[in-house]
A and B are shown apart, each in its own frame.
Chain A
Amino acid sequence: MHEVALAEAVWRQVAAEMGRHEGRRLLAVSLVVGCWSGVDPESLEFALGLLAAEGRWPGAAVHIRTEPLAVTCRACGCEFEPQELDLACPSCGASDVEVVRGRDVRLESLEAE
């Protein structure tokens, strides 16, 4: 829903990282989008492309990988990827879980030359 603001934050973070690698040219940005992050990967890719064209890295490629929701069971510690919103632990049946992956957007890596 709000991918432009997020795309701005991505490019800001990329700029900060590239500042540590002066003189290199950015070739590609790899992002991970959690499926519970509320972010639509296609809209994010579109917003990133628009802002990149206006900014410092017009030729940089953007790779977005979606990440499934992963949780750990608070009762037995088992980690699993819930299917169809069934948060019950396949190992012990408890449904008190903590989300470990799939809720945020991460800058996974940059490629530069």
Chain B
Amino acid sequence: MAKRIRLEKRIVSESDRLAAGLARRFAEARVLVVNLMSSPGAGKTTLLEETARRMSGDLRMAVIEGDLATDRDARRILKAGIPCHQINTGGGCHLSARQVADALRQFDLGQLDVLFIENVGNLVCPAEFDLGERRRVVVASTPEGDDKPIKYPVAFHKADCVVLNKIDLLAATDFSPEAFRQFVRGLKPSVPILELSCRTGEGMEGWLTWVRTERQAAARGTPRGCD
């Protein structure tokens, strides 16, 4: 006789399990791990270069770079003065928890305050894969258009901080900062929106303050779900 077995259990993938393990390691080491995502060309690497130049004197930082091909970004980060490990995903459209776990062999977490993971430039897939990070940052930029948040709602809804880069180019575009803020707030009212230009340095102080504050919370061992 047929029997129905009621379960209502969430499917837990291997990737979820690995990410939970990474999150525990990061919490034990009290290191702030930030997963940085954006479309290609929004300025993730430039943001990290500028962050390295301005903060490497106060904080011990490192970067894991994710790209389909080349080590161009890793070379830029190394030139900016902080350790970096490049992952080439080949055809992979996002970084996986497995790749991050492998990359961690290059670093001593106990000797780091902040680890940035620069995900593959893509606003779709990276949003679906937890890497054990403490915070998620989405970088948008003015030439991409102000409607990115509502076109890629999951990435923005899951973000702990939204950086709007290239505000120095505002006059050359039809981008409306007001519309952008409204779209983001509609998806996540409480998320900080930091408007800046990595090129001119305008607004960078707000970003550095966010990193410092988050780093202090991580160092205190505050659980990752709490502010």
Contact = CB atoms under 8 A, between A and B. Distances in A.
Interface of A: 1-2, 5-6, 8-10, 13, 17, 21, 24, 27, 31, 36-38, 85-88, 94-96, 99, 104-113
Interface in B1-16: 1-15
B4 A110 contact: yes
B2 A6 contact: no
B2 A113 contact: yes
A6 B13 contact: yes
11 contacts: A5-B13, A10-B11, A13-B12, A21-B5, A38-B125, A85-B186, A85-B187, A107-B9, A108-B6, A110-B4, A113-B1
A111 B5 contact: yes
Contacts of A85: 150, 153, 186-187
B3 A111 contact: yes
Interface string B128-164: 1000000000000000000000100110010000000
A88 B189 CA distance: 10
B7 A1 contact: no
Contact of B12 (A9, A87, A94, A109): A9
Most A CB atoms within 10 A — which of B8, B11, B13, B186? B11
Contacts, number: 87
Given A27-B2, A38-B127, A111-B2, A87 B187 contact: yes
Given A9-B12, A38-B154, A112-B2, 6 more contacts: A24-B3, A96-B190, A106-B9, A108-B8, A110-B7, A111-B4
A1 B4 contact: no
Interface residues of B, number: 29
A105 B10 contact: yes
B80 interface: no
A36 B154 contact: yes
B18 to A, nearest CB: 12
Interface of B: 1-15, 93, 124-125, 127-128, 150, 153-154, 157, 185-187, 189-190
A96 B190 CA distance: 7
Contacts of B190: 96
Contacts of B185: 95
A47 B102 CA distance: 28
A107 B13 CA distance: 12
Closest 7 interchain pairs by CB? Answer: A38-B128, A9-B13, A110-B5, A105-B11, A113-B2, A96-B189, A107-B9
B199 to A, nearest CB: 32
A109 B7 contact: yes
Nearest to A37: B128
Contacts of B189: 94-96
A83 to B, nearest CB: 13
A94 B189 CA distance: 9
Contacts of B125: 1-2, 38
A1 B93 contact: yes
Contacts of A24: 3
